[in-house]
Amino acid sequence: MFHRMLVILSLILIISKHEAASRSVYFTIGGLFHEENTETEMAFKYAIARHNMYNNQVKFRTNIQRISRTDAFSASKIVCNMTASEDGLVAIFGPPSLTTGAMVQSVCSNLEIPQIQISWKANLPFQHQTILNIYPDHDLLAQAYATIVRHTDWRSYAILYETNEGLSQLNEVLKLANPKSDPVIIRQLDTQPGADHRPLLKEVKNSSETQIILNCAAENVIGILKQAQEVGMLEYLYSYFITSLDAHMLDFESLNTKSNITVVRLLDPDSPILNNAVLDWIQGESNTNNYITISPLKVKAETALMHDAVNFFTSIVPQLHLTEPIKPESMDCSEQRKWAGGFRISNFMKIKHMLNSITGPVKFNEQGRRIDFTLQIVEINEGKLDVTGIWSPIYPDAINFTRSSSEQMQQIYENLQKTLIIVSSRIGPPYLREVVPKEGEILTGNDRYEGFSKDLIYLISRHLNFTFRIELAADGKYGNYVPKTKSWNGLIKDLLDRKAHLAICDLTITHSRRAAVDFSMPFMSLGVSILYSKAKKADANRFAFLDPFGMEVWFYTLTLFLSVSVLLYFIARMAPGDWENPHPCDQDPEEYENIWDLKNCLWITLGSIMTQGCDILPKGISTRWGVSMWWFFSLIMTSSYTANLAAFLTMDRMAPTIDSAEALVKQTKIKYGTVDGGSTQTFFKESNYTTYARMWTQMEGARPSVFEKTNADGVKRVLTTKNQLYAFLMESSQIEYEVQKNCDLKQVGGRLDSKSYGIAMPMNAPYRSAISTAVLKLQEKGRLTELKNKWWKEKVEVEVKCEDEGSASGADLRMTNVGGIFIALGMGVAIAFLLSIVDFLWNVRSVSIEEHISYLDALKVETKFAFKVWITQKRVKPELSESSSSSSSSTGGEDNESKDEKKGLKDKMLKSGASLLRIDQREKSES
């Protein structure tokens, strides 16, 4: 019983299906393809098959034809035969070729049969009412490319294209560049099979351009990139933007490159619609014993567009047929008759909007161009595809990035860690200098150098966790544009030639360099200042007090001193007024005495010229006149000496000859210059400020040249030029270092401008923000200040040490100026001490004779008394010890007797003088 019921139900289903099939309406769709069994044809067939499987009322048949890519005449005949068929056509899909597609478009437009195009086509100036192109609109796609390039922050780039039609896709990209400041290189690729693109790529490489837009067929991309790899253009610093919508399906992993490659695609490999379509294709082909393997990642844009176009059309026609039946007709190309249903179908498609599709939303404008779609921006990282953003015509100037800034930075860090960073630099202490190896030591790699630059890049590398190698620039220059060769030199050239990833030294950020390379945020601020030498101090002369008078003046003065003293001696002997009574109490002396012996004459002349005077003075008219003339001579000589001495001793503390740039430009005696080709020279050359412009004019016209090759040469010239006749203009930070090294140098004035040092890198380097962030963090932590103190103060190699001048002012006299006076005083006191010793010894001799004692005993007595400093009175006769007395009595009896006789005689004379004095006193009292 149960089996009978199953049979009855099966019969009912078969009959119902047969009746439904008999009631279904079939429309024929034409498909034009160039090759058999292409993926596009497969998508066309199975999209219709899926529709027919789930729709019974309106079904579609296919009329697939294969036409030539280049023979337009045969293509038109095939299309006319298709339209003249008995069933007629409701639409034609294809062909992909633009050459034959134009003829097919003309036929369909004349007959008003809807044609759905799936390949790119430039916008035409005239309209075709029944022609629709599901490929993204030409203008919108060009705008999408421009937005992507703008968000990559490319200021300059090279465009390599295959066809003129492809170049037109980049018209909006060309508008981004400024031809004057950011020229764009445009070169056409050879389209011949197996063409050698290396000469063209070398030309681009020599131009130092690293941002390249590649517009070519997808099948040619890998071949071109492999040739680029051969010429060294697939390194880390190069970036490529490939415009082909099929580039996502290429095998970039085979290139093994670290270059930044960006592609775009219309489809999302994770889309369920795409995955279901791929399953339909695999299953459908397996039913025909054609087993294929296809991945959603390998689906071409053209295939996906065909699938979406068929789905869109097959969903529209049934809706339109229900409102008013569509009646296909046989159309003859030779007749001027148009199919009425074609215009109706095409207009209905223009007002509809399909959201669920492989290539994103589908919407047409009145001209039949697709104006709604999405582009995925994909970066290739080690062969893997990473979606970084999505572009949509709704916001044509914006990109919806799918990665956060932290994720993007993390990707940059990972790329840096996988790359050996080449750092270009130059020798120039304290930024970089060569390490002197110890005996038997061999230095290699980065150990060969030390300095501020090495320490800075080391700290950055630790922060970002990358390895680096320091390489010196071949010519040792900073980097300047040479108009004759139309190229850069120095560190900038190394970056442009991609020989280095970074350049670090005392490299100033300038406008011209900034146009060629990128810079990190500044790691040091500075300005141009003036390096000048200190006044050369005269050789230490402790007898500088003799300088006010020449040797002949000193000779004549000494001679005159002796001559006047002797002459004064004779004048005093002849002058009656200088003969005096030796005993004032005796009114009638028998003799006169003259105190002006030669000793006193020398003393009064010496005291006069020393401005100290004398305790005795002449009384005679002639002697007074002679002494007055000597006093006048002494007044003039001592005044002249005092005035000249002050000038001579302070001559080396005169004010500096220059103290600013204004003072420098107002004179012509002192020459000044800069490093030839450096940023300081450029500053003066391009300055519009009057003072700096005049300085540049004087520097440029100076002969011999005032420009030096390096800062070291400029410093050497400042030190070796005589009479301080050269000043050197250089960065203030370098001046600070040179002044620390050599105290013969000084900085004159303040900074003439404000500039900064930065780490240079190729334009649009992906790690630019990472380097700047590292520099900023080092600055915030104070590490940059520590490095400067280390290399400007702690590790500076002092060439000329500074003297400790204490807190005295610059006008004070030093011991080196007046030390001779101390020497003269010491020598004079020493002579006086020697004379005192001689006088003492002579007095001892006299005592020994008078006291009739031995010389040794007298010496002991006098020496003992001399050391009794608390005794202020001295006996006429020295106190002799008993031994000395006995010795003297035993050895000199006769001498004692003679001595007693002399003593008695002296006593009698003193008594007679005293009695005479008393008589005089009595006479005075009586009178």
Average pLDDT over residues 760-766: 86
Average pLDDT over residues 522-534: 87
Q: Is the pLDDT of residue 897 over 70?
A: no
Identify the band that residue 565 occupies on the pLDDT scale cut at 50, 70 and 90: confident
What DSSP element (H or E) covers 641? helix 621-649
Q: Is the pLDDT of residue 813 over 70?
A: no
The closest of 122, 124, 135 to 94, measured between CA atoms, is 135
> 């038997």: which residue's tokens?
440
Task: Quote the pLDDT of residue 243.
Answer: 92
| Percentage helix, strand, coil for the chain under 3-state DSSP, each rounded to 5 | 50, 15, 35
Identify the band that residue 825 occupies on the pLDDT scale cut at 50, 70 and 90: low
> Could you tell me which residue, 458 or 914, shows the higher pLDDT?
458
What DSSP element (H or E) covers 607? helix 598-609
Task: Quote the pLDDT of residue 807.
Answer: 43
Identify the band that residue 114 occupies on the pLDDT scale cut at 50, 70 and 90: very high
Identify the band that residue 815 occupies on the pLDDT scale cut at 50, 70 and 90: low
Contacts of 152 by beta carbon, 8 Å cutoff, 6+ apart: 211, 239, 241, 262, 764
Task: Quote the pLDDT of residue 881.
Answer: 61
Average pLDDT over residues 704-711: 88
Contact 200, 212 (CB under 8 A): no
Task: Quote the pLDDT of residue 519.
Answer: 93
Question: By percentage, how much of the chain surpasses pLDDT 70?
Answer: 83
CB burial string 15-50: b at 16+ within 10 A, e below: eeeeeeeeeebebbbbbbbbeeebbbbbbbbbbbeb
- pLDDT per residue as tens digits for the range 259-270: 889 999 998 888
Task: Quote the pLDDT of residue 625.
Answer: 81
Quote the pTM value.
Answer: 0.66
> Could you tell me which residue, 295 or 612, shows the higher pLDDT?
295
Q: Is the pLDDT of residue 884 over 80?
A: no
CB burial string 603-618: b at 16+ within 10 A, e below: ebbeebbeeeeeeeeb
> Could you tell me which residue, 384 or 33, shows the higher pLDDT?
33
Contact 282, 43 (CB under 8 A): no
Task: Quote the pLDDT of residue 317.
Answer: 92
Identify the band that residue 631 occupies on the pLDDT scale cut at 50, 70 and 90: confident
Burial class for 883, CB neighbours closer than 10 Å (0-12, 13-18, 19+)? exposed
| Domains of the chain and any CATH numbers | 21-135+274-375 (3.40.50.2300), 405-527+762-790 (3.40.190.10), 544-653 (1.10.287.70), 657-753 (3.40.190.10)
- pLDDT per residue as tens digits for the range 349-359: 999 999 889 99
> Could you tell me which residue, 397 or 12, shows the higher pLDDT?
397
What phi, psi does 489 have (nearest 5°)? Answer: -125, 180
- pLDDT per residue as tens digits for the range 153-192: 787 889 999 988 888 888 889 888 776 667 788 999 988 8
> Could you tell me which residue, 263 or 660, shows the higher pLDDT?
263
Task: Quote the pLDDT of residue 803.
Answer: 61
Task: Give the lowest-confidence range in 226-235, 601-610, 653-662, 904-913.
Answer: 904-913
Contact 469, 445 (CB under 8 A): yes
Average pLDDT over residues 660-674: 86
Contact 488, 514 (CB under 8 A): no
Q: Is the pLDDT of residue 15 over 70?
A: no
Contact 119, 135 (CB under 8 A): yes
Kindly list the distances between the CA atom of residue 611 and the CA atoms of 538, 606, 630, 634, in Å, as whole numbers in the listed order. Answer: 31, 9, 11, 8
Longest dimension (CA), the chain: 203
Identify the band that residue 651 occupies on the pLDDT scale cut at 50, 70 and 90: low
Identify the band that residue 370 occupies on the pLDDT scale cut at 50, 70 and 90: very high
> Could you tell me which residue, 634 or 8, shows the higher pLDDT?
634
What phi, psi does 42 have (nearest 5°)? Answer: -65, -45
Average pLDDT over residues 34-62: 88
Evaluate the omega torsion of the peptide bond into residue 878 and state whether it is cis, within 30 degrees of 0: no
Contact 204, 233 (CB under 8 A): yes
Q: Is the pLDDT of residue 880 over 70?
A: no
Task: Quote the pLDDT of residue 916.
Answer: 41
| Count of beta carbons in the 10 Å neighbourhood of residue 308 | 28
Tokens of 75: 């293509």
For 483-542, the DSSP string reads TTTTEE-HHHHHHHTTS-SEE-SS-B--HHHHHHEEE-S-SEEE-EEEEEEPPPPPPP-T
Identify the band that residue 8 occupies on the pLDDT scale cut at 50, 70 and 90: low
Average pLDDT over residues 311-320: 92
Contacts of 500 by beta carbon, 8 Å cutoff, 6+ apart: 422, 423, 424, 471, 491, 494
Identify the band that residue 384 occupies on the pLDDT scale cut at 50, 70 and 90: confident
Contacts of 863 by beta carbon, 8 Å cutoff, 6+ apart: none
- pLDDT per residue as tens digits for the range 768-778: 889 999 999 99
> Could you tell me which residue, 304 or 540, shows the higher pLDDT?
304
Average pLDDT over residues 379-399: 86
Q: Is the pLDDT of residue 17 over 70?
A: no
Instruction: Please give the distance of CA 177 from its chain centroid, rounded to a whole number.
Output: 27
| Whole-number Å distance between alpha carbons of 325 and 327 | 6
Q: Is the pLDDT of residue 9 over 80?
A: no
Task: Quote the pLDDT of residue 922.
Answer: 41
| Whole-number Å distance between alpha carbons of 22 and 313 | 23
Identify the band that residue 891 occupies on the pLDDT scale cut at 50, 70 and 90: very low
Identify the band that residue 911 occupies on the pLDDT scale cut at 50, 70 and 90: very low
Q: Is the pLDDT of residue 86 over 70?
A: yes
Task: Quote the pLDDT of residue 823.
Answer: 63
Identity at 329, one-letter amino acid code: E
